[in-house]
Amino acid sequence: MYANFPLSRRYMQYEEEEEEEDYNWQVTPGQSASVSGKHYEWQLSDGRQWLSIDNDHVIETHYCQPGARGITINTASYGRVYIDFDKLETQSAAMRVQRLSFLPPGQTEDVGWYFRDDKLWCEYGTKDTNGPVSSVSSRDVEHQFTLSPRGTFRFTVGSTAYTLNFSAMAQTNCHTGVRRNVRRRPKLNSTLSSTGSLFSDSVLPTAASSLVTGDSFKWEFMGEEGQWTEYQAHRCSFDSAAIESQYQQNPQGQLHFRVDSFSYTLDFSGMCQVNNNIGTKRSVRRTTAYGSQLNSRTGTLPRWRFQDVDGTWRDYAKGRGECSVSSQEIEIQYQQNLSGTMSFNTRNFNYELDFSAMTQRNLSTNTTRSVQRLNQ
């Protein structure tokens, strides 16, 4: 039997490879995975019993990012507890941590395997920043790992042979002896069926929704005159805050409402509104309400920066080299999909910004630069 682990005022710290980001927010009592329908549960033990952690989807979100070394939670009962994601240990000898998995028969988690090249964490089966695409995928590595979790796996990339040591979680170049760290992390909000097909666990809220309150977003539909119009409670019974609350409970779901004699469906996955009587479809968007205090300490939006050719970190800003996006516009896209990508351009080039890898890539020259998201 699991007891709730009260985190009534919790401070969390997400540790990346080069810097840290701070978040503060209030939480309410959570429920165990067996009740909420989640396929995982994070727990801490004080030596007497295992205790469930409220709103552990925040821990799960960070754990699924290959660049995250760990997270610090500030608990009401035990103070600050640091969870090391690589070792699945805490820094306190008196505290233990575990991640339980609850999956029906025939289903497994979709797991990603990553190696650290000179600059970034790269998933097996994708191109790193230095060389060709790996000849093995995450699924290949996971298969070998399940066969022998303490063994080794030998593979080649081009003419170069490598050995992956599961016990040491390290990859070694058999010719040069160069050793690289390896990490195994689940993919966020996804499992694999018995046939290997991927499907989303839509019960889980998005990571973005855990970082902000419901009134930090504005929900709008495209009106008759081509103008974005915010939802108002006196017209359709739902305002932006109420819609955001429903969205956080199920980002892939739907919301039904009426306006006068018409019935409507708001489809979160398709980001559209459909008139159920006549079939008219309108676009819907979810944007940051800029007046909201996304950072509880400073009341400002995070800043997005890229590392220029001279090593200097520069802010994204419209008008600088005729960049087509601002830092605020990047933040909006990031909050809607923390693992997605977005495109933008300058006067001469088109670029892709990868939120998962935190990189910017020139689509013409393939030059890749590091990107930062800083809370001000």
- Residue-level pLDDT, tens digit, the chain, 376 residues: 233 344 332 333 334 443 333 333 233 334 545 445 678 888 888 888 888 887 778 788 888 888 888 888 887 777 888 999 999 999 888 889 999 888 777 778 889 999 988 778 888 887 655 556 667 899 899 999 989 999 999 998 888 899 999 999 999 999 999 999 999 999 876 666 555 554 444 322 333 333 334 446 788 888 776 677 888 876 777 788 888 878 877 787 888 888 878 888 998 888 889 988 888 888 888 876 543 333 434 445 678 899 888 888 888 887 655 688 888 788 877 877 777 889 888 888 889 999 888 999 999 888 899 999 887 5
What DSSP element (H or E) covers 59?
A: helix 57-63
Distance CA 262, CA 266 (A): 13
Distance CA 173, CA 236 (A): 62
Identify the domain containing residue 24 by its residue range: 3-101
Assess if residue 202 is contained within a domain. no
At residue 300, the pLDDT reads: 55
Query: Would you say 237 and 257 are in contact if contact means Cβ atoms under 8 Å apart?
Result: yes
- Indicate the number of domains in the chain: 4
Place of tokens 């069926």: 193
Q: Are residues 236 and 264 in the same domain?
A: yes
Kindly write down the DSSP assignment for every residue of 62-109, as one continuous string: HHTSTT--EEEEEETTTEEEEEETTTTEESSTT-EEEEEE---TT-EE
The domain boundary residue, chosen from 233, 254, 288: 288
- Start-to-end CA span in the chain (Å): 42
Assess if residue 198 is contained within a domain. no
The domain boundary residue, chosen from 75, 101, 127: 101
Assess if residue 281 is contained within a domain. yes
CATH number at residue 166: 3.30.720.50
Assess if residue 208 is contained within a domain. no
Place of tokens 């790992």: 145
Q: Are residues 64 and 95 in the same domain?
A: yes
The angle subtended at Cα 372 by Cα 370 and Cα 376, nearest 5°, is: 160
Q: What share of the chain is helix, strand, coil (3-state, %, to 5)?
A: 15, 40, 45
Q: Are residues 246 and 319 in the same domain?
A: no
Assess if residue 155 is contained within a domain. yes
Assess if residue 200 is contained within a domain. no
Assess if residue 201 is contained within a domain. no
Query: Would you say 203 and 38 are in contact if contact means Cβ atoms under 8 Å apart?
Result: yes
